[in-house]
Structures are given as structure tokens and as C-alpha cells.
Chain A
Amino acid sequence: GAVVSQHPSRVICKSGTSVKIECRSLDFQATTMFWYRQFPKQSLMLMATSNEGSKATYEQGVEKDKFLINHASLTLSTLTVTSAHPEDSSFYICSASVTSGITDTQYFGPGTRLTVL
């Protein structure tokens, strides 16, 4: 149980184009999903918290107009990188939160490798 998928797993795009990444919880419903970014040899950095039916909460320094998040259902959240530039090239990882008792456990997707040329 608690499987999270991401699509696509890898994408290469030209500078200035937009890229959409999907995150799905396959066997459970997730009120809250998270989006992270990981640059080479660095740790994961939380970008935003996505809540179903409401606006995402962005971390300081993350441009909400550049990284559009939509959490349309309890099993799907999407991240759209608008007008992508080479500096946006990174490993994007989503997670979905499951409440167990009084704490939450996050289950992560396999990640999406974005390369902007």
C-alpha cells in the first residue's frame, strides 16, 4: 500500500516552454501532497504544500507564479514549471501524506528528472 507515482519520470524541454508533472496516490487518498526539488549532491528542499481544494502554500523563495500547483482531487496533484530555464533543471519529487495515529507519514514518488536546454 501507499504507492505514489509520478509522470513523466524524465523530461527534456527547451528554454521558455512549460512542463507539467503529475503526482498520483495510487491506493489511497491524500488530502495533502508536497513538492520537493533536489539539485545534484544536495538534499531535498521543500517547495510547496498542496492541499486538495485550496491554494498551495509555498516556501520562502519559491515563486508561486513560476511553479503552479493544482491539487484537483484527493489522488492527483500537478506541478507546472512555467517558462522553464536551465537553472530549473533539477529532480522534482512529490509526496503524499498519510495520517497514522497523530502523526503523518509521507510516501514519496519516484521523482521526475527535468532538463531544460
Chain B
Amino acid sequence: DAKTTQPNSMESNEEEPVHLPCNHSTISGTDYIHWYRQLPSQGPEYVIHGLTSNVNNRMASLAIAEDRKSSTLILHRATLRDAAVYYCILSGSNYGGSQGNLIFGKGTKLSVKP
């Protein structure tokens, strides 16, 4: 499975943008980039995913490097409720059957200061 590298922790101030980086230099052509987050004592929550183009949804934006070897999750205005562990995960496409296994790394623990 392709591996990702994320900083162990990051800090942000409330209402400021947050850029969470992820390196995935061994990504294959069919790997999607998924982001999940986990609040304390809860199951992970889907945030966003993408393949090549940048993606936006109501929660965040995903900026993918042209060579796809890195990506950045962007929270446009951090709130206290965004404090969580953010996981960047590569997952293969499901050609001919699901390859949807997610391998969780240690993620980035985001702290948000009021």
C-alpha cells in the first residue's frame, strides 16, 4: 500500500485558514487521495477525496500537486470544532472490484486556539 507522510501536529488560531500537508511520493496512477478526520472518542468522519484536480466541498478544499506526490487539505476558517486528528490516506480505484481498504497512519493532530 502506498504510504503517506504527515506532520504529527499543527496549531491554528480560530477563524484563520489551516493548510494540512500530506506527502505521498509513491502514489500510483490509480490511487485516490482521501482525507478523514477523527474527533476524540468518535469514529472517523469523511472530509474529502480527489484524484488529480483540486476539489471543494462544504467542509474543505483539497489541493493536489501537479505531480500528485503531495496534497494539502485546506480548512478555510478553522473553528474549535475542527480540532481533530486528520488522516491523509491513499486508496486504489475499484476497477473490477473494491479495493477500498483504508490504511490509517498516525495523522496530524490539529489544535485550534480561541
Contact = CB atoms under 8 A, between A and B. Distances in A.
B80 interface: no
Given A95-B43, A110-B43, A103 B32 contact: yes
Interface in A15-46: 31-32, 34, 36, 43-46
A112 B104 CA distance: 18
A49 B98 CA distance: 11
A58 interface: no
A99 interface: yes
B43 A104 contact: no
B39 to A, nearest CB: 10
A33 to B, nearest CB: 11
Given A103-B49, A104-B94, A113-B41, 11 more contacts: A31-B98, A32-B100, A34-B101, A43-B87, A49-B101, A93-B43, A94-B43, A99-B94, A102-B93, A104-B98, A104-B99
24 contacts: A2-B46, A4-B43, A31-B98, A34-B101, A43-B87, A43-B105, A43-B106, A43-B107, A46-B101, A93-B43, A95-B43, A95-B44, A99-B98, A102-B94, A102-B95, A103-B91, A103-B93, A104-B98, A108-B36, A108-B45, A108-B46, A109-B43, A110-B43, A111-B43
